[in-house]
Structure 1
Amino acid sequence: MIKAQGRWLAFSPLLLLSLLPFAGRVALRISASAPNPEVAVLRYFVIPLIGLSLGAATFFMLLRWWKTGELAARCNLFLEKREGALVWGLTIAFLLLYLGLSLSSYLTLHLGLFDFGVYDAKIWHISAAPGLWGKAKIACTGHFQPILLFYSFFYNVGCSPAILLVLQGLAVLSGVIPLYLLCKKWALNPLITSGIALLYLLYPPVAFNSILDFHPDHFYV
């Protein structure tokens, strides 16, 4: 009975997913204040709700496993030789998922915000500007964003604007690397290390900074 209750409590955050059908009503509520309510609902309701529910369920399940002792020991034994492969496998899987969503939006002309077009035009102008000073002047006009000089290099070699979404996804998901190295430095057990990596991948800002449009802000994640 106690085990069943513990299992129920671990998966209880998934009940939050039952709120997803109300996304349409939320969009209607904010339609007067948001210029693009569909994107606002996706960014501030759907993605955070999914990330919160899955992340919380994962956390409680890991906590439950940790308290049971025997199961945690078996998991640690299983992960001792597979910890690195599991972390990198999860990272690659989420990278492919996020890139698939963002690139499919780009290829089907369903990018929800106008920011991608703004940055695409700005980076193209940087790539076409003569001399480093001319490029830097454009990169620092409006917003101080010298990082756009890096992106302009890919335009100079003939890359499609889709490269912005690819590089953005790679930059955001690369946050797993320092997390993993810190866990190894602190000698955390494999179960906790894998759980921390998974929680990062499920972190809502990681999701919508990888999926929704293009912004240099993704480096702040």
Structure 2
Amino acid sequence: MSATWQWQLTGTFNTSYNVGVYDIDLFDTPAATITSLKAAGRKVVCYFSAGSSENWRSDFSQFTAADQGTPLDGWAGEKWLDIRSSNVRTIMAARLDLARAKGCNGVEPDNVDGYANTTGLPLTAADQITYNSWLADEAHARGLAIGLKNDVGQLVGKFDFAVNEQCHFYNECGDYRLFITAKKPVFNAEYDTPYVTNAGGARDTLCTAARTAGLRTLVLPLSLDDSFRYSCD
């Protein structure tokens, strides 16, 4: 998978970037847009949440009350999911079917680290590994690449690339050495204000560190709406 990328999940969609990979919303992006991106030589990764319910999604009513835990802090309308639930897996399998039907090259399932958060559910690291492994196997069975989102250190062998938020800010980028060594792309996004403004050369320092580490780092708005974009490539 080519390693230059653009990540946009909200706002008026911009297809003009000369990058190898577009990471876009599975539900909101028309199949025609995906077809157009692929015709232009882009790989298309389709985002969906695999670990939370979102009350605006078309399949939200399929989740039961028992499937859902506590709300995600800072994200209105989302609740953590019980990844042990067979019903949750049925819904996620249908989302993977949708990704294949729309022509996505790969998927980015989000919120796959519930075990490390306060979910209101008794999830363990073993539960997470089992679920993430299942997602990877199901994606591959459909001919889809799959990225590991933020759950640093789990299942390197199962995933084809990684998507990370703020590993520079949290000093966690070194954990991705296993991906880099395996020649698997690591797509990183940073949101901190000094990176946006380049105060004191913060963005320059960030980009030097990212290039040295072999990460594909973008500075983006938290809303991922393409209101600004700075690439370290």
**TM-score normalised per structure 1:** 0.24
Greater RCO (Cα-Cα under 8 Å, separation 6 or more): 1
User: When you count helix as a share of all residues, which structure comes out higher?
Assistant: 1
User: When you count strand as a share of all residues, which structure comes out higher?
Assistant: 2
